[in-house]
Structure 1
Amino acid sequence: MKKVYLIGFMGCGKSAIGKRLSFATKMPYYDMDHEIEKKMGMTISEIFSTYGEEAFREMETEFLRTFRNEYCIIATGGGVPMRKENREIMRRTGLVFFLNAPFRDVWRRIATLKKRPIVQASTRAQLEKLFYVRKPLYMYSAHFKVETEKRSIHDITDYIAFQINRFKGGN
Structure 2
Amino acid sequence: MKKVYLVGYMGCGKSAIGKRLSFVTKMPYYDMDKEIVKKMGMPIPKIFEKYGELRFREMETEFLRSFRDESCIIATGGGVPMRRENREIMRKTGLVFFLNAPFRDIWRRISTDKNRPIVQRSTRAELEFLFNERKPHYLKTAHFKVETEFRSLRDITDYIAFQIGRLKGEK
Distance in 2, Cα, partners of 1:27 & 1:97: 16
Q: How does 1:118-129 map to 2 (within 5 A)?
A: 118-129=118-129
Q: Which runs of 5+ in 1 are unaligned?
A: none
Distance in 2, Cα, partners of 1:115 & 1:102: 21
TM-superposed CA distance for 1:168, in Å, is 1.6
CA offsets 1:95-126 (integer angstroms, 9 cap, x no match): 00000000000000000000100000100000
Q: Which runs of 5+ in 2 are unaligned?
A: none
Instruction: Show the counterpart of 1:130.
Output: 130
Distance in 2, Cα, partners of 1:68 & 1:165: 22
TM-superposed CA distance for 1:26, in Å, is 0.1
Q: In structure 2, what residue type is equivalent to 1:61?
A: T
Instruction: Show the counterpart of 2:57.
Output: 57
Does residue 2 of structure 1 match 2:41? no
Q: In structure 2, what residue type is equivalent to 1:71?
A: S
Q: TM-score, normalised by structure 2?
A: 0.98
Does residue 21 of structure 1 match 2:17? no
CA offsets 1:52-109 (integer angstroms, 9 cap, x no match): 0000000000000000010000000000000000000000000000000000000000
The range that moved more, 161-170 or 145-154, is 161-170
Q: How does 1:23-102 map to 2 (within 5 A)?
A: 23-102=23-102
Q: In structure 1, what residue type is equivalent to 2:60?
A: E
TM-superposed CA distance for 1:166, in Å, is 1.0
TM-superposed CA distance for 1:44, in Å, is 0.6
CA offsets 1:19-41 (integer angstroms, 9 cap, x no match): 00000000000000000000000
Distance in 1, Cα, partners of 2:6 & 2:153: 14
Instruction: Show the counterpart of 2:147.
Output: 147
Secondary structure at the residue paired with 2:151? coil
Secondary structure at the residue paired with 1:74? strand
TM-superposed CA distance for 1:169, in Å, is 2.1
TM-superposed CA distance for 1:167, in Å, is 1.2
Q: In structure 2, what residue type is equivalent to 1:87?
A: R
Distance in 1, Cα, partners of 2:62 & 2:134: 21
The RMSD of aligned alpha carbons is 0.7
Distance in 1, Cα, partners of 2:105 & 2:134: 16
Q: TM-score, normalised by structure 1?
A: 0.98
Secondary structure at the residue paired with 1:55? helix
